[in-house]
Structure formats: C-alpha cells, structure tokens
Chains A and B, each alone.
Chain A
C-alpha cells in the first residue's frame, strides 16, 4: 500500500488468512486417497494453500484501502488455480501405468477436482472471513471457525459404507472354473494354479446396496475400480507383472442383474476387518452420482418369492 493512503488495518487480513489456510490444511490428511504421500507433494499443496488464503484475505482489505489495481491483480492471480486440476490429473495418470491396481479415470478426476476445489474453498473462506472480520476481531474469529466447519461439512462427500453393506463371503467355483462370490460371478479362471491360489488365499467380499442410490453407485464401473484400488491399497495384493488374473477383481451380478457386486482379492495381509473398513470408506465418486435406479428385476424376484 502506498504511503499516501490511510493506515491499513491488518487484523481482518491476518484472521482471514489463518482461516483459509487452516481449511486447506485440514483436508491434507492423507489416508483417503493415499495422495499426497511424500513431503514434496505436501509442500506443493501447502504453498498453493498459502497463496490461495493470501489472495482471498487481501481482496477486501485492498478494496477498503482504495487500491483497486491491487484488487484486480488478485483476481487475476486466482485464475492460476485452474491449473491445479490438470496438474494433479497428469501426475496421477502417469502413475496409473506404474501401479498394479489402477485408480481408474473416475477416481483420478475426483481427486483432482477435490484438490482444485479445496484451493478455491480456502480462498472463499478467507474472503468471507475478512468481510466479517472488518466488523470486529472476535466476530471475525467466530466467523472464521464457522466458515471452516461449514466448508468441511459441505465438502466431504458420502462414503460407500453409507449406501452399501459390505460382507465377507466365501469364494467358490461353479462348473469347475467359474469364480463366484455369493451369487456374483467374477471371472473364469482357466489355470489350475490360479484357482488354487484363490481357494487357499483369496478373500471374497459381497457388496449389497441398501437402497436405489447405493445400487446406482455400484453399477458404475469407475466406482468399482476405485473400490478395487482402495481395497488393494489397504491390505495389499499378491499380484505382479505376469500374473494378470491373480489379484483383485470387482464385478456386478450378471446376467441376473440383481444389483449386487462381488470382490475377490488375494491379500498380502489377511485382515478381513481392515479390508471391510477400507471398502466402507471408499468415497462415492462424482461420476457415479446417477439418479436412483429402481431395479425392476429385483422387484419381480421379490414378488415371485412372496407368491411362491
């Protein structure tokens, strides 16, 4: 600010900056997407978070100081954040060919959108807080906390466990070679050696949707790839290059079409509880947010059972 202007009140800017930055930090907890995983990854996100919070918090202050040029430049800087999504997507897509159980394009898009949105959220929280903080210091602090809580609530999407029941179920074979989990056929395993591996070490999981929303989620193939990836990330998977049919697979109940999904995995760590917990915690992808599907086949079957 130039020396000729009135003295600047820094308090709202500092409070707003802290609010925006904290909201960005809160979401950097790894675990959910296993990304970022390394300090360098965190560093990029933290640096971007600092810049975002800075921009959001200083707009109002510079407007009040009648520094319109500065305010305009700040909005210009905000457009830089549109690159975050494509950068994040590029990184994850590169990784895709290097990991044995891929995240799938849907999950990658979800992670990148979240990263981008989080920066803008930090910016918005900082902006909103700086407006409130102009009134009073304590009002600003209270408002900042409220905005952070609101942002957290609003930005965290549903988890699979809220829509789908996850049960450990035994793996079995039909016709000698068809691998089943409960009523769901997963694949044809032609190699006796692989069949034996699934029989001895495999774990089967049955995913039963609780309602029409849950079923719509399971029908989405990107969602099932994300489930397979996160299941493998949680308990490990005994799979390597040259063993394409061993590892993890998640398929729908076809051709019966009753809307349940099955998952088979050859885990490294045989901890079924951990596996179930990981699958319940899988985020529901944006691309699987279809409208509810009412499965007519299931209704017919239920009617048939009632009559029979």
Chain B
C-alpha cells in the first residue's frame, strides 16, 4: 500500500438539508442542531468503526476505511 486506501462514504449527518442532495450512496440523517448532530455522528462512528469529517457547512460525513483498523 503506497497510498492510503480510498475510504467509502458511509453516512451523512446534517443540520441543513439544503447542503445535501438525496439519492446518493449514503443514508442522510437529519439533526435539529449541532449538538444532536455530533451525538448521532458519534454513535454511528463508534458502531461502524467510521471516521467523522466536518465539512463546516452544518454537515458531517462518516467514512469507512478498509485499512483503518491497522494503519494509524
């Protein structure tokens, strides 16, 4: 592995549904505010071994990396 494995987007959690178009590959979870969004994101990521990334527009995405269990 010379480069990091390409992660797959697993889920999207957002407070602003205008930032996300439906019909993609990942389920979208709506949250009323940032606190609830972070709570949902944390539950999902702990359950699925995903990594959370903040897009800074009210949306966080969860990505699952095949090699995430072994590579730092």
Contact = CB atoms under 8 A, between A and B. Distances in A.
A99 B69 CA distance: 8
B60 A190 contact: yes
Given A191-B38, A191-B41, A221-B2, A248 B54 contact: no
Given A105-B1, A221-B2, A188 B69 contact: no
A193 B51 CA distance: 12
Nearest to A99: B70
Interface of A: 96-97, 99-102, 105, 175-177, 188-194, 221, 225, 228, 232, 241-245, 247-250
A68 to B, nearest CB: 49
Interface string B32-55: 000000100110011101111110
B71 interface: yes
A241 B53 CA distance: 18
A191 B63 CA distance: 12
Greatest chain A CB density within 10 A among B45, B50, B71 is at B71
Chain B interface category by residue count: 20 to 34
Nearest to B64: A244
B72 A250 contact: yes
Contacts, number: 60
B2 A245 contact: no
Given A105-B1, A221-B2, A191 B52 contact: yes
A250 B68 CA distance: 14
B54 A177 contact: yes
A154 to B, nearest CB: 30
A190 B69 contact: no
Contact of A248 (B38, B49, B68, B72): B72
Nearest to B1: A105
Nearest to A222: B2
A192 B68 CA distance: 19
Contacts of A191: 38, 41-42, 45, 52
30 contacts: A96-B70, A97-B70, A99-B70, A100-B69, A100-B70, A101-B70, A101-B71, A101-B72, A102-B70, A102-B71, A175-B56, A177-B54, A188-B54, A189-B52, A190-B51, A190-B54, A191-B52, A194-B52, A221-B3, A225-B71, A228-B72, A232-B72, A241-B49, A242-B47, A242-B49, A243-B46, A244-B50, A247-B72, A248-B72, A250-B72
Contacts of B71: 101-102, 225
Contacts of B49: 241-242, 244
A228 B70 CA distance: 11
A177 B54 CA distance: 7
Contacts of A101: 70-72
